[in-house]
Amino acid sequence: MQTPNILIVEDEVVTRTTLKSLFEAEGYNVFEAENGEEMHGFFENNAIDVVIMDINLPGKNGLILAREVRDRKNVGLIFLTGRDNDVDRILGLEIGADDYLTKPFNPRELTIRTRNLLSRTSNAAEDDDLPSKVKFNGWTLDGDSRSLISPKGNEFRLPRSEFRALHLFLSNPGKILTREQLIMEMTGRELRPNDRTVDVTIRRIRKHFESEPNDEELIVTIHGEGYRFCGEVD
């Protein structure tokens, strides 16, 4: 694997410098941006693999910038949020962040999460194994554009987490999938205590389905166990 490119988006110099040293010590190429404008500049000229982004930034904040990052197919996104800011964490995941850490974070934890995420994002071959189109109940999951297309033809671009979760469901119709299985597929990491990542992702996927009248619920909650895809794959 080529040396991964990490882009740190953080306005606080001390945190940014600390992060830079941390990732350089791990052997990554590190780019630093103070704000969204600088971030986009790096995207123009470099193949960025993972973005580590602070939520509180001057100008466009991290939540706004996340929308702009998530459409880039092979970029992973990890948010750094303030302590006890559950709202930011949930919002970040809803917008399509792959993972988050709360400040002050454990550096080792961050590098492990980043490595896990990279194993998901940089391995394009893994995604290429997926059939490019899977049809179910009038819907289409399109692996080339990583989008979900409704029976009426509306297209939803999916963040990687949603795409991978949905793909796992479609590969296992009728089977109960646990949160542990889903989080591993989505982010390559284990479930944490009070982890809302899976539930937020499922909620987002359901929202796409609910955008058009549906006879049945396609993803059903199995209480205490996980989720099950109840549709029919063509």
Residues forming contacts to Ca ion in the complex (CB under 5 A) are: 11-12, 54, 56
| Residue with Cβ nearer Ca ion (75 or 80) | 80
Shortest Å distance, C-beta 96 to Ca ion: 20
Q: What's the distance, Cα to Cα, between the start and end of the chain in Å?
A: 36
Can you tell me the distance from the alpha carbon of 89 to that of 63, in angstroms, rounded to the nearest whole number? 10
**Alpha carbons 96 and 162: distance in angstroms, whole number:** 8
- Nearest CB to Ca ion, comparing residues 55 and 158: 55
Nearer to Ca ion, 12 or 195 (CB): 12
Long-range contacts of 145-150 (CB under 8 A, 24+ apart): 146/73, 148/208, 150/208, 150/211, 150/212
Nearer Cβ to Ca ion (33/170) = 33
| Cβ-count burial 28-40 (b if 16+ within 10 Å, e if not) | bbbbbbbbbeebe
Residue 157 beta carbon to Ca ion: minimum distance, rounded to whole angstroms? 27
Q: Closest separation between CB of residue 11 and Ca ion, Å?
A: 5
Closest approach, Cβ 35 to Ca ion, in A, equals 10
Task: Annotate 109-158 with DSSP letters as a single string.
Answer: HHHHHHHHHHHHHT-HHHHHTS-SEEEETTEEEETTTTEEE-TT--EEE-
Question: Which pair of structure tokens corresponds to residue 11?
Answer: 């306005």
Q: Which is nearer to Ca ion, 54 or 185 (CB)?
A: 54
CB of 53 vs Ca ion, minimal distance in Å: 10
